[in-house]
Every structure is written in structure tokens, then in C-alpha cells.
Amino acid sequence: MAATIRVLIVDDSALIRQMLTRALSMDPRIEVVGTAKTGVEAIEKSQLLSPDVVTLDIEMPELTGLEALPYIRHNSDARVVILSCVDDPDTTYRALELGAVDFIPKPSAGMATSMTELSEVLLKTIKTAYRIKPGYSPDSCSESPEGRSVDSANCGDAGSEGLAACVAVAASTGGPPVLERVFSGLAASLPAAYLVVQHLPSGFSASLARRLDKVGDVRVVEAEHEMPVEAACAYVAPHGVHMTVARGRGGAQLRFSLGAAVHGVRPSADVLFESVAEQFGADGVGVVLTGMGSDGARGAAAIKRAGGDTIVQDQASSVVWGMPGSAVRMAGAGRVVPAGLVATEIRRAVRARAEARA
């Protein structure tokens, strides 16, 4: 019989606390052991009640969620899931850096339909968080240097003719801090373009692109339909569309489509990876990072069949080894490495292709 998951709900809204308690209590695997309305109360109850998972609001009196989060992480084994407003993604990314395992956009209180949808997502996320080893520490990079302003019209200088490799990257749960670490280890001198699918709610992809743009030499932008794909640039797929790459006389271009969701998500890494395999063949590189589900596994297998490389984050450094584990099982071992060595493997793969071309 599956173990009961003990949950502490933290939110300054009495209505939200009541609605979430009622919704979560409908699942026999979930036991709501308590609620809290302030950051101080959240710290006290996380120690007293020993919850497995804490759902944590950010804007609260006395102590904010960001201020309370380090204390909760230090004084308990609870995995923390952030409930955040979509219009403040930078704050949510900061929560992930501080040790939250996932985040969910919070709808306006009183919207019954939105709360029903939130409850379904939250149940799934809580069960995923429970599988994460207590005390997990995110493998994120240190403080990022100031970056350049993002100018999508002038992403790179080399153009697609200078491409030796097209690197497709997939991530989901726990992905943003790992992506920051990976991009901090990449250099603009590498003749590669990077196409990124990170499963995110609507409104987060532009903020993620800005954060990644600050951590290293590679220019990172939110992708646009028919945007040229250029060396030394990275493109983050926006929410709600599938992103693919196509090559023509004018070079490589990004293409968007509104096809059906794959694995329940759009954009899908499989859709992107399969287009990279088709268009770039042996010059394609597939990178599958931490995440729930199996998106990216089929695409990584396609890249491998086309002669390209696959790089997979290992289980020990992944928040959830669903996506990378599926990639190993479906595409073969490839190179399975800790988060801190993913950039090293990407550099190796790109340089090998550049040397072969030379």
C-alpha cells in the first residue's frame, strides 16, 4: 500500500487554505496535517508537524515565503512546492535557487474553475515532490554577473553557416537552476546553437531567457517564429507552441506550430529533438536534464539514430529522474553525467564536430 503523504499548506488567504485543504483531502494518499498563514507560522509548523511536503505562498505577512524557505529547508525534511503569481517569475526562480523543488502559478482566489485545475496540478506535483530524497540541495550556480540586454534581432554574429552543431536541450521539474549551471559553462566561441525546451507555465519563458543570458557568454533569447538560428545563440521555446528547426538556402530557422500536446505538454522536447535529428543528422546533440515524465526520450533516440550525441543528467543530481531516466532506457546510455559536467560534455561534442568539419 502506498504511503500517506503529509502536507502542510501555507498561504495568507483563508479562502485558498480552505479550498486547497478540501481539494487535497479528496485524495486518499494525501493527509493535510496543518495550515499556516504567515512565514513564521510556517517555520514553526514545519518543525512541529514533520510534513513530507509544504506548499508555500510567497507574499505573506511577518516573513515572506522567500524568507521562510531557508529555515523550513534547514529545520525539516519537507520538500517545498511554491505557489506563485505568474507575473513575478524572477521571484519564483529565486525560490528554486533556495531549494524549492517546483513551482505552480496560483490563480486569483474565488475562481472555482481555476482552483479545480490548480488542485489537479498540485496533486500531481505533490506526489512527484514526495519521491524526491529529503534534504535535496539544488545543483545551481552561484550569483550571476550582470548580463547584456536581450536583442532578439541581433542574436549572433556568426550566422547559421558557422554552425558545427545544433544542441537541443530538454528540462522540466528542477530544470531552471540546472540550465543556469549549464549555460554558465558554455562559451560564445563554440560554433553551436542551442534550442531549449523547459516545461514552464505561460509567462515564464522570457524571464528564463533573461536569466540564462546573464550567466555566460552565449546570448539567450525567447524564441520567435521564423527567427534565424545562429551560432553562439540560444533560443528558449515559449509556452503553448511546439518549436522545430528547418534548414533552407537562407540557413536554419525556427518554426512554431499549434499541433496537439505531446506527453501533455506544448512545447514538447520530442518534437524539437526529432526535427534536429532530421535537419542536422550527425551534427545534432540532444541533452536531457531533470524532469518528470518521458518527454525527450524518443527525440534523443532519433538524434542517436541519426549519428548525433546524447547527453543525460545522472540520477543523483536530478530532482526527478523521469525524463533523463527514460532517455537512458530508450536512447541508450549515451553520456550520463552529473549536472556540473553537462556543459563539459556539450563542449566536447561541439568541438568534435568542429574538428571533423575542419
Residue 61: CATH number of its domain: 3.40.50.2300
In a domain, 143, yes or no: no
**Its pTM surpasses 0.75:** yes
Res 113: pLDDT? 55
Per the structure block, which three cell numbers stand in for 295?
Answer: 518527454
- For residue 168, list its beta bridge partners: 195, 286
Over residues 335-342, the mean pLDDT reads 96
Distance of alpha carbon 235 from alpha carbon 246, whole angstroms:
14
Res 332: pLDDT? 81
Same domain, 87 and 174: no
Same domain, 102 and 246: no
Helix (H, G, I), strand (E, B) or coil at 108: coil
Give, in order, the Cα–Cα distances in Å from 302 to each of 56, 60, 168, 273, 309.
40, 47, 12, 7, 10
Same domain, 163 and 273: yes
Contacts (Cβ under 8 Å, ≥6 apart) of 250? 228
Q: Which of 184, 199, 242, 283 is catalytic?
A: 199
Q: Which of 76, 84, 140, 172 is catalytic?
A: 172
Contacts (Cβ under 8 Å, ≥6 apart) of 96? 82, 103, 138, 140, 174, 176, 177
Q: Give catalytic status of residue 295 as yes or no.
A: yes
For residues 294, 210, 125, 21, the Cα torsion angle rounded to the nearest 10 degrees is -160
Same domain, 124 and 179: no
In a domain, 136, yes or no: no
- Give the count of domains, the chain: 2
Same domain, 205 and 110: no
How confident is the model over 280-318, as pLDDT tens digits?
Answer: 999 999 999 999 999 999 999 999 999 999 999 999 999
How confident is the model over 108-143, as pLDDT tens digits?
Answer: 544 555 667 778 889 999 999 998 888 776 644 433
Burial of 278 (0-12, 13-18, 19+ CB in 10 A): middle
Residue 149: pLDDT over 70? no
Same domain, 271 and 340: yes
In a domain, 141, yes or no: no
Distance of alpha carbon 68 from alpha carbon 76, whole angstroms:
12
Per the structure block, which three cell numbers stand in for 248?
Answer: 533552407
Domain that includes residue 296, residue range: 155-357
Same domain, 111 and 172: no
How confident is the model over 4-31, as pLDDT tens digits?
Answer: 999 999 999 998 899 899 999 999 999 9
Q: Give catalytic status of residue 317 as yes or no.
A: no
Res 1: pLDDT? 58
Phi, psi of 13 (to 5 degrees): -90, 120
Over residues 77-88, the mean pLDDT reads 84
In a domain, 309, yes or no: yes
Q: Which of 139, 295, 309, 314 is catalytic?
A: 295
Distance of alpha carbon 99 from alpha carbon 295, whole angstroms:
24
Res 121: pLDDT? 87
Q: Give catalytic status of residue 242 as yes or no.
A: no
Closest CA to 282 of 162, 160, 164, 187: 164
Residue 275: CATH number of its domain: 3.40.50.180
Residue 72: pLDDT over 70? yes
